[in-house]
Amino acid sequence: MNRFVPLAHKSMVNLAPWDGELYFVEDFVSREEADSLYVLLRRDLAWREEEITVVGRRVKVPRLICWYGDAGGVYRYSGVDHMPLLWAETLLTLKGRLECFCGRRFNSVLGNLYRDGRDSMGWHADKEKELGPNPFIASLSLGAERLFRLRHNKTGETLDISLTHGSLLLMGGSLQHGWRHSIPKTREPKTGRINLTFRTIFSGI
């Protein structure tokens, strides 16, 4: 069983009642650091609009994205191949810190920029074959607080977590098989939010 227990943090509570592991660290980075990371990453990362095909129609993804990582780590989702840009310095530093914290290696990061409350992410699970049998994902949030909603595939039970500025969410074990997750649109006035999901791509799977 590919059960994940963060090496230095065995006391963290698994928030998933079953089928997987979900840990939340509210202040992974301090408010001051989160403020400056947000400004730097919003300005410097290569944010771009993406289009995907949904029932034969081209539609714009409701957020901006960017993809960085080791050379060769191609990742396919929503029918689109994502070729990584080579690591930006700030992302590499964050990756190192997350690797120490989690006791895991990452070789890529997907960035999502939600410009306001109209930007969102639909229901999905991160279980593409390139992520291995039980994907482990470290997800850092910067900027406006947004709701992260999980729904269990069989029972329909939902779990809500408020992803705050500077917080870290860890997803592991069978979570991506038992649950789907989303960032719903909101009518509340929201400023921008950056989310970075550090992942491990297993090439050649």
Q: Which spans of this chain sit near ligand AKG (rule: CB under 6 A)?
A: 110, 112, 121, 126, 139, 141, 148, 163, 181, 183, 195, 197
- State in angstroms the smallest separation of the CB of 52 from ligand AKG: 14
Q: Which residue number, 4 or 181, has a Cβ lying nearer to ligand AKG?
A: 181
Helix, strand, or coil (residue 67): strand
Q: Which residue number, 19 or 192, has a Cβ lying nearer to ligand AKG?
A: 192
C-alpha–C-alpha distance, residues 46 and 5, integer Å = 33
- State in angstroms the smallest separation of the CB of 63 from ligand AKG: 8
How many Å is the maximal CA-CA distance in the chain? 48
- State in angstroms the smallest separation of the CB of 112 from ligand AKG: 5
C-alpha–C-alpha distance, residues 61 and 55, integer Å = 14
C-alpha–C-alpha distance, residues 112 and 104, integer Å = 22
C-alpha–C-alpha distance, residues 70 and 73, integer Å = 6
| Secondary structure, 3-state, 100-155 | HHHCCCCCEEEEEEECCCCCCEEEECCCCHHHCCCCCEEEEEEECCEEEEEEECCC
Which has the closest alpha carbon to 20: 185, 173, 199? 173
Q: Which residue number, 88 or 142, has a Cβ lying nearer to ligand AKG?
A: 142
Q: Which residue number, 14 or 120, has a Cβ lying nearer to ligand AKG?
A: 120
Q: Which residue number, 108 or 139, has a Cβ lying nearer to ligand AKG?
A: 139
Q: Which residue number, 40 or 122, has a Cβ lying nearer to ligand AKG?
A: 122
- State in angstroms the smallest separation of the CB of 141 from ligand AKG: 6
- State in angstroms the smallest separation of the CB of 73 from ligand AKG: 15
C-alpha–C-alpha distance, residues 16 and 32, integer Å = 30
